[in-house]
Amino acid sequence: MLEHDVVIVGGGLAGCRAALEIKRLNPETSVALIAKTHPIRSHSVAAQGGIAAALKNVDPEDSWEAHAFDTVKGSDYLADQDAVEILTKEAADVIIDLEHLGVLFSRLEDGRIAQRAFGGHSHNRTCYAADKTGHAILHELVNNLRHNGVIIYDEWYVMRLVLEDGEAKGLVMYRIEDGALEIVRAKAVMFATGGYGRVYNTTSNDYACTGDGLAMAAIAGIPLEDMEFVQFHPTGLYPVGVLISEAVRGEGAYLINSDGKRFMEDYAPSRMELAPRDITSRAITRELRAGRGVNLDGSAGGPFIYLDLRHLGREKIMSRIPFCWEEAHRLLGIDAVNEPMPVRPTIHYCMGGIPVNTDGRVRASAESLTEGFFSAGECSCVSVHGGNRLGSNSLLECVVYGRRTGRTIAEYVKNRKLPSFDAQSYLTEAQEQMKQLLNQAGTLRINQVRQEFQDCMTEYCGVFRSQEVMEAGLLKLQEIKAKYEQIYLDDKHPAWNTELIEALELRSIMVVGEMILTSALNRQESRGSHAREDFSDRDDERFLQHTLAYYSPAGIELNYMPVVINRFEPKERKY
């Protein structure tokens, strides 16, 4: 059995920032960081547009209060306002700290950090490194982990959380290189496992975003918060779904329908293309439904609309958003200097997740905490994004709450002993599970079942939802779930068995999908990204509260938790 003071699952921004903080505060602590990819290949590396902070470099009128208000309004008033206050107040400090770590931000003429406009933000406050911000930050963080003696287990797949008597005690993990199973115990376990874009069939997320941490926590008995809030990013490149950053609109690009019209004037006249993502994604979906989408031959009635950059000019495109130009060129052969890009909404971000307090401690229920268990980043829900996240607030959340959670853990493990549990029984169960998967005499390929599941989620729980459709979706989903028992694996070898990993990931996808759909069915209102055709208004009386969903193989139980409102009273949300 392996032993560490702290084990962190996840090598993205949140996990790395937490690990670094623990080592800074207490270099003697044994901190292990585990990731199923190499840390540098975590989805954080793909973040493009930037990270928000009221630095006032471009806009002296900005303030943390304005940032907090924009965030709460963007969330459709579901964000916890104490958590938002921390996020926005600590923002400037974490940016300066990143810069001291070596992150190369883009600059203004006078040398200060540059800041651009972003959707839903009332001031220019998004700091960036061209359109490769995640890359710039993650590389420096991972470098700093090594300097600080964090032990890295890369390409290990964590398959189970050991949680007994309300206490997280360790993990069961699998070394992808040779198929070895290991049990690790620790005084503190942290999940920073990122999002779940792959629950759907079209997403901006990478292949590893399968919601494993969410599923493992749920299976262990931890509730998941606000899972119905799934962010669609308005501009996924058609047909692949790859992201074209909001930075492109931040730099001035237009959204155009088949009539050549900037249709956002009908939906958010004051913010136009820079309205929040939920509003913009719905606007595009409405345009497509009304037959004002475009086809590949340029005719009307098609599946996408245009993102038009042509008026920005080559120099601006190549200096501020070169990566987006490159993506469209590489994937579709489009030169965005001269041609508009075909785009449509794509699954992008998970607002809900493992419920935590503002110190990163995982909740066991609305009133109680779990011992030894911590979480930060996209897999957690603190909740700073509520019903809809503003662009460039997620990287910020990872860094602010990664750092805070690191601090909490550094203190928490000081006087704690390693927990005890029966490691052998966990090992035997894991061996059995693997054997069962390898020897299953099914007739279905993993890919077939996964595709069916992803199509089901996309069709029955998309941008617009209704009771009838979601109920049908849940029935279908149960049928597809049953097919898990009928999959078979071609590869029986222990080394680099990616098929086996995909089988484990498929289980995560299925648990998370069911949590999303069930939570969505029960929220009978429209708020943020959750748009019900049968309940088109926001209903603060019944639903100004967080959903807590408890998983069990027999079914999902729902409970609700109050929202912290201490600064901004809920108002109608208009842009």
Choose between 68 and 521: whose C-beta lies nearer to ligand FAD: 68
> What is the rounded CA–CA span in Å between residue 401 and residue 407?
10
Of residues 127, 152, 192, 224, which one binds ligand FAD by CB under 6 A?
192
CB of 299 to ligand FAD, least distance (A): 30
> What is the rounded CA–CA span in Å between residue 188 and residue 344?
42
Of residues 157, 229, 232, 374, which one binds ligand FAD by CB under 6 A?
157
Token output for 212 = 């494993």
The residue sitting closest to ligand FAD, measured at its beta carbon, is 12
Q: Does the footprint of ligand FAD cover residue 37 (CB under 6 A)?
A: yes
> What is the rounded CA–CA span in Å between residue 221 and residue 329?
46
Q: Does the footprint of ligand FAD cover residue 362 (CB under 6 A)?
A: no
Q: Does the footprint of ligand FAD cover residue 392 (CB under 6 A)?
A: yes
# binding residues, ligand FAD (CB under 6 A): 45
> What is the rounded CA–CA span in Å between residue 121 and residue 318?
24
Beta strand 545-550 with 557-562 is antiparallel
Of residues 6, 7, 8, 13, which one binds ligand FAD by CB under 6 A?
13
Contacts of 480 (CB under 8 A, 6+ apart): 449, 452, 453, 456, 510
Of residues 190, 398, 503, 531, which one binds ligand FAD by CB under 6 A?
398
CA neighbours closer than 13 Å in the CB half-sphere of residue 82: 8
Of residues 230, 395, 434, 503, which one binds ligand FAD by CB under 6 A?
395
What b/e sequence results for 367-383 when a residue is b if at least 16 CB atoms lie within 10 Å of its CB, and e otherwise? eebbbbbbbbbbbbbbb
Of residues 74, 119, 120, 213, which one binds ligand FAD by CB under 6 A?
213
Q: Does the footprint of ligand FAD cover residue 162 (CB under 6 A)?
A: no
Q: Which span sits near ligand FAD by CB under 6 A: 47-55, 56-64, 91-99, 488-496?
A: 47-55
Q: 3-class SS at 39?
A: helix
Q: Does the footprint of ligand FAD cover residue 12 (CB under 6 A)?
A: yes
Q: Does the footprint of ligand FAD cover residue 205 (CB under 6 A)?
A: yes
Q: Does the footprint of ligand FAD cover residue 512 (CB under 6 A)?
A: no
Q: Does the footprint of ligand FAD cover residue 34 (CB under 6 A)?
A: yes
Beta strand 167-175 with 181-191 is antiparallel
Go through the chain and tell me how many residues it has. Answer: 575
Q: Does the footprint of ligand FAD cover residue 176 (CB under 6 A)?
A: no
Q: Does the footprint of ligand FAD cover residue 353 (CB under 6 A)?
A: no
Helix axes 498-522, 212-219, angle to 10 degrees: 70
CB of 371 to ligand FAD, least distance (A): 22
Q: Does the footprint of ligand FAD cover residue 406 (CB under 6 A)?
A: no
Helices (H), 199-295: 212-219, 247-250, 277-289
Residues found near ligand FAD in the complex (CB under 6 A): 9-15, 34-37, 39, 42-44, 46-51, 133-134, 157-158, 192-195, 204-205, 208, 212-213, 243, 349, 377-379, 391-395, 398
